[in-house]
Amino acid sequence: MALFGATGSIGGSTLQVIAEREAEFEIAALAAGRNVGALAELAARWRPRALGVGAAELIPHLRAELAARNVRPEPEIAAGAAGLRDLAAGLDYDVLLLATVGVPGLAAAEAALARGKTLALANKEALVAAGPILMRAAAQGGGTILPVDSEHSAIHQCLRAGRSGEVERLILTASGGPFLDWTEQQLRAATPADALRHPTWRMGRRITTDSATLMNKGFELIEACHLFALEESNVEVLIHPQSIVHSLVAYRDGSVMAQLGTADMRTPIQYALTYPAREATKREKLDLAAVARLEFRRADEGRLRALRLARQAWRAGGAAGAVLNAADEVAVEAFHAGQLSFLDISAVVEDVLGSWQHLKMDQLADAQAADAAARRAAQERVRARAERRGADGSAAAR
């Protein structure tokens, strides 16, 4: 297998799964963004044939780290999004697990699918920003996308219980994030530290913040529509604070299939890597008697702006998903930099999405162009809001 995004949280969980089944897997390539020390450490442990780093200027640092750990012969080294694409297009492997953050992994995903490979997909942005392109690459090249996200993995598993024509709707569960019971007034004052306190999952900063705004669920809704070829009106969001039921499929006969498990990403990762087999594991198993009760609440989509925006982006089609993702990433960063309030994250995204005109999406370059343009538009709106807030502040002080 090839693992891109090896030094992140999904990358770490993936290597734990592989470590339990070392006889079955060989690591052909590992890629990371900027953490060359950690990447060299992994190279010393796993001895891949190739490595990828975020940018060409990091290669000398990576070489030095490899030499310091006696990694010989030195693996082939690729850099940047083009480097990852070349590895995905040229290396010998069966499964690419894509756990990179952001759009740089998209070309690699397309290359893998076009070659008929299995793409174990943990990257959040790929299907949101470039769903039509990746689904087409898979259809034409014979590649398969196996979702690693716990919700989509759950749906993938529940869909094995019936035929696609028998599905009535998908039910995506959402923990509701750290702000589930917060009032509008409290939300107005929510800080980055508050937003990073996710009740059930340990994840990176962007996705944890997106869980707090529910934009993460919005992205998952778009991903589900692509992956399982359904309309947004067939996907319902259900609040389930315990994150034990990972998602469900409702069939037309009234039967509802659910997939349950502990909140451990190694389970969906292993499912994607060993599919269609289910392999034994010694990891902690779900104890329903200890859980005792499962709680569910209706998601109030009138209040949850991020879900409405995601549905709007899906219906608009084309590059709207890329715009949604890029605007959200800029807004989340601005929130952590103290430039935006928590509620302004979704407001900026709504502004940018609502003003968007160019929705062409014929190739990956269209997604990348929409991404770059939406980022600039979002940055302008962040600046305008920061200035307005500054002006209000000084007015209040006077």
- Rounded CA-CA distance 230/284 in Å is 34
Least Å distance, CB 63 to Mg ion, is 36
Cβ contacts of residue 369 below 8 Å, gap of 6+? 319
Nearer to Mg ion, 177 or 318 (CB): 177
| Binding piece for Mg ion, criterion CB under 5 A, among 43-51, 95-103, 141-149, 259-267 | 141-149
- Rounded CA-CA distance 26/24 in Å is 7
Residue 231, amino acid: E
Least Å distance, CB 214 to Mg ion, is 12
What residue number has its CB nearest to Mg ion? 149
Nearer to Mg ion, 100 or 368 (CB): 100
Whether residue 289 contacts residue 235, with contact meaning beta carbons closer than 8 Å, is answered with no
Nearer to Mg ion, 42 or 307 (CB): 307
- The site string for Mg ion over 91-130 (x = CB under 5 A, - otherwise) reads ----------------------------------------
Whether residue 217 contacts residue 246, with contact meaning beta carbons closer than 8 Å, is answered with no
Least Å distance, CB 265 to Mg ion, is 9
- Rounded CA-CA distance 350/238 in Å is 23
- Rounded CA-CA distance 320/74 in Å is 42
Nearer to Mg ion, 67 or 294 (CB): 294
Nearer to Mg ion, 208 or 379 (CB): 208
Q: Which residues pair with 171 in a beta bridge?
A: 236, 248
Burial (CB count <10 Å: 0-12, 13-18, 19+), residue 300 = exposed
Give yes or no for residue 149 binding Mg ion (CB under 5 A): yes
Nearer to Mg ion, 213 or 368 (CB): 213
| Binding piece for Mg ion, criterion CB under 5 A, among 20-28, 142-150, 299-307, 334-342 | 142-150
Provide the binding-site residues for Mg ion, judged by CB under 5 A: 149, 151
